[in-house]
Amino acid sequence: MSISKNLEQNRPIFPFTAIVGQEEMKLALILNVIDPKIGGVMIMGDRGTGKSTTVRALVDLLPEIKVVENDLFNSDPDDPELMSQEIREKLQNNEKIQVTTKKISMVDLPLGATEDRVCGTIDIEKALTEGIKAFEPGLLAKANRGILYVDEVNLLDDHLVDVLLDSAASGWNTVEREGISISHPARFILVGSGNPEEGELRPQLLDRFGMHAQIGTVKEANLRVKIVEQRASFDESPLSFRKNYDESQNELRERIITARHILKNVNLEYDYRIKISQICSELNVDGLRGDIVTNRASKALAAFEGRTEVTPQDIFRVIPLCLRHRLRKDPLESIDSGDKVRETFKKVFAYQ
C-alpha cells in the first residue's frame, strides 16, 4: 500500500462537494486553483463555520503537476521562472534531469512559526569552512507551486505576514545571512482564514490578498440539520461517506483541470475592462490590484464554466470578492459586505 493511501486511511479528508452552503468561499478557492496569479484568498467568518474544513478539503481536488524529481523546490522542468538555480544551471549545461508528476501540495503554516522556519536558513559554518552554500529550505520552498494555508492569519505576527505577502507577490524568496544570499522560486496560493472578532488584518496587508470571502453561520434550520447529520456520518465512517461523493469529486476535479487548460484562451472585452476600472475608480480603490484581480477572477470563472468569453454576470459574481476588502480606509471600519460594490457595478454596467 502506498504512503498516500495509508495517510488517506489514517486521516480521511471531508469531501469538498459535500460541504453545504458557503458558496462564496468555495468559489474563491476554486478560482485561485484555476489561476494562482489571482493572489490568494482571505476567508473571514465566525467560529465553527467550516473554514479550515473547506480549505483542507480542497487538497483532494488539486490537479497533478510536472516536477523535477528529488528537487526541494518543486521546480517546473519547463518554466525557468519556476525552477531553482541548481536546476537552471543543470539545463544550461545540458545535464539530464528526471521529471515526475505529483499532486499540488498544501503546506500548513503554524502560528508559532519563526522566520527561519518560514524562509529557510543558511548554515554559515558550512558556508565558511567548506565554501558551499548550505541552505536548509523552509515552508516557502515546500509551498512553491502549491498552496500555503495560514489558519488564524490575523493572529500571525505582522512581520511574518509581510514576508509571506512579499513572496506571494514577487514569486521569490531571498534569504541573506552574513553577506551570503540565496534565492529560490516561491510561487504559491496564499490562503488565510480568521475570525473577525479576534481582529482584522491591517488594510495594507489585507489589500495584498487577491480575494476576500466572508462567511457566516447558516441560519436555516433544515440546512443546519443537514450539516450536523453529514458531519455525524463522516465521523462514524469516513471512508464509506467519501465513497458517496467520489463521482461529484471527480467531476469537479475534471472541471478544474479543463478550466486551467482553456484559461489562456478566455477573452475579456476591452469595454468590460474599462468598466471594471471605472468601478474601481468610483469606489476610490487604491492602486491597481483591484482591477487586475477582477480581470483575472472573471476570466477564471468563465473558464470554470467552460466558456471562452467573459460575461457581465461573471464580473458581477466575482467583483465583490475582489474589491470589498480594498474599500476600507480606516482600520476601525468594518469590511463592506459587498453591497456597495454591487450597487456601483449595476450603475456602471446599467445592469438589472
Give the 3-state DSSP-derived string for 53-94, with helices as H, strands as E and coil as C.
HHHHHHHHHCCEEEEECCCCCCCCCCCHHHCCHHHHHHHHCC
d(CA 177, CA 109): 23
d(CA 345, CA 214): 19
Rg (CA), the chain: 21
Which one of the listed residues 145, 187, 208, 289 is annotated catalytic? 289
- Active site includes 289? yes
d(CA 69, CA 146): 16
* One-letter identity of residue 339: D
- Cβ-proximal residues to 135 (8 Å cutoff; 6+ apart), any chain: 120, 121, 122, 123, 175, 182, 184
By C-alpha distance, which of 242, 263, 340, 344 is closest to 305?
A: 263
d(CA 168, CA 191): 11
User: How far is C-alpha 40 from the geometric centre of its chain's CA atoms?
Assistant: 4
Active-site residue list? 289
